[in-house]
Amino acid sequence: MANLLFYVALSIALLAVVISFFRLLIGPSVADRTVALDGMTIISISVITAAAFFLGRVIYIDVALVYALISFLGVIAIARFIERGL
Amino acid sequence: MELQSVLPILGGLISVVGALFLLLAAIGIIRMPDVYNRMQTGTKATTLGSILFLLGIGIAEPHWLGKIVLLIMFIVFTNPISSHVLARAAHFRGIPLAEGTVRDCLADDEAGEQGVCE
């Protein structure tokens, strides 16, 4: 019962990643694509944590934490690039 | 019923609600008219959805709760910052607002006007 609920939640989150990916493909400007990428990575953090739950390994939560850190730094770097160039 | 058998089901229900918020955020990223609206739905809804999803997993596995609370705190602190920096960069780059926008307070501020924003 509980595992079924977590499978449903994981499926919905993966569907959300796929839907955000279309904005990454069609976005008219760089900022649109960056927003879509940011949304995809934030949703992927939840997906990685669900993988940690299913596999029973707590170390994957550290992977999600590092992924969040790199995503944050990447968005800051892209925003700086949009604002005034490298 | 014992607590040990209730907690995973409660956590699963909370996770499903969080996943629905994540799906709403993704639909908003597709459907909204301009960059700033997309940024708003892509930040607020994913923050709430991530909090609920991770909290559900933390309730189902209570001995992971420390690391999961750390992850939630990180997302809550960094998500608004990245969205703010990105919106500021897009505005200075001159990416236009959607049609039907009533007020652009940052542009008024740069032009030195005293508007209704004060």
List pLDDT tens digits, range B75-91: 999 999 999 999 888 88
Instruction: Please report, rounded to a whole number, the percentage of residues in chain B having pLDDT higher than 90.
Output: 48
As a three-state string, the secondary structure of chain B is CCHHHHHHHHHHHHHHHHHHHHHHHHHHHHHCCCHHHHHHHHHHHHHHHHHHHHHHHHHHCHHHHHHHHHHHHHHHHHHHHHHHHHHHHHHHHCCCCCCCCCCCHHHHHHHCCCCCCC
Return the residue of A nearest to B9 by Cα.
Answer: A2
- Mean pLDDT split into 10-residue runs, chain A, 86 residues: 88 93 88 91 93 91 93 92 80
Calpha distance A70→A62 (Å, rounded): 12
Within 33-72 of B, beta carbons closer than 8 Å to A belong to 35, 38-39, 42-43, 46-47, 49-50, 53-54, 56-57, 60-61, 64, 67-68, 70-71
How high does pLDDT run on average in chain B? 87
Question: Which member of B50, B54, B64 has the closest CB to residue A58?
Answer: B64
Distance CA B67, CA A49 (A): 11
pLDDT for res B51: 94
pLDDT at res. A20: 92
Are the C-beta atoms of B86 and A31 separated by less than 8 Å? yes
Q: Is the pLDDT of residue B26 over 70?
A: yes
Amino acid, single-letter form, for residue A83? E
DSSP 8-state assignment for residue A85: -
Residues shown for chain B: 118
